């Protein structure tokens, strides 16, 4: 039980305590399907989620860009007193508590990309997975949402070797940020974007 509580407390809280807000205008052009990683410093939950990553610990939450960059689909624990769910929110709302943002492109094209995006869209409204289980498909946490969408697009498990800690198998933020199909294209901090070499 303690393992489940520690994991639930730590994996992926989207609600944070940071006071900064990045402006969507500060971001380079986004395409539907790009991934936005919130910095670990965003709040207590993102710091703990980053700590559960076995690799890159810069990021603590992730969402999928939709609607040509106007919105983001992500699994969110919700504000206090609010039920968590997979939500589609305006880009500005997703950025409201962000100090540092990683922008990643995903190497999926054609039908694979369309299926990936369709899975994300169809997941909106599902409850947040507070058990952080990769066995259940009727509730999702943020990195699980992205993994399942990628797997739908590929037609196979996108991350066959998932993170394991304290006997619990899960999809960590770094399982995604270090995935061979993803490439970090920019990091935005305090309104300034630093594009990375292609």
Segment 175-195, tens digit of pLDDT = 999 999 999 999 998 755 566
* 120-175 pLDDT, tens digit each: 999 999 999 988 899 988 999 999 999 999 999 999 999 999 999 888 899 999 99
Longest dimension (CA), the chain: 45
pLDDT band at 6 (very low <50, low <70, confident <90, very high): very low
pLDDT of residue 10: 32
Question: CA nearest 19: which of 95, 74, 87, 117?
Answer: 95
pLDDT of residue 12: 33
- Contact predicate 27/184, CB 8 Å: no
Beta bridge partners of 195: 186
pLDDT of residue 109: 97
Query: Model pTM?
Result: 0.84
CATH numbers and ranges of domains, the chain? 2-195 (3.90.1720.10)
Q: Distance (Å, rounded) from C-alpha 54 to C-alpha 35?
A: 19
> Which residues contact residue 161 at a Cβ distance below 8 angstroms, ignoring those fewer than 6 apart?
none
Is the pLDDT assigned to residue 55 strictly greater than 60? Answer: yes
Is the pLDDT assigned to residue 13 strictly greater than 70? Answer: no
């Amino acid at each position: 039980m303690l393992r489940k509580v520690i994991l639930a407390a730590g994996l992926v809280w989207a609600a944070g305590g940071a006071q900064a807000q990045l402006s969507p205008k500060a971001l380079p052009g986004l395409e539907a399907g790009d991934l936005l990683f919130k910095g670990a410093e965003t709040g207590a939950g993102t710091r703990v989620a980053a700590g559960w990553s076995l690799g890159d610990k810069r990021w603590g939450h992730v969402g999928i860009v939709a609607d040509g960059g106007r919105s983001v689909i992500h699994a969110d624990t919700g504000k206090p007193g609010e039920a968590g769910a997979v939500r589609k929110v305006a880009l500005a709302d997703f950025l409201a508590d962000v100090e540092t943002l990683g922008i990643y492109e995903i190497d999926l094209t054609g039908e694979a990309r369309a299926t990936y995006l369709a899975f994300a869209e169809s997941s909106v409204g599902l409850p947040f997975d507070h058990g952080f289980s990769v066995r259940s498909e009727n509730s999702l946490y943020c990195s699980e949402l992205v993994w399942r969408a990628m797997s739908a697009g590929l037609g196979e498990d996108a991350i066959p070797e998932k993170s394991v800690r304290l006997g619990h198998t899960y999809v960590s933020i770094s399982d995604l940020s270090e995935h061979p199909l993803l490439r970090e294209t920019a990091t935005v901090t305090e309104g300034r974007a630093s594009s990375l070499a292609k």
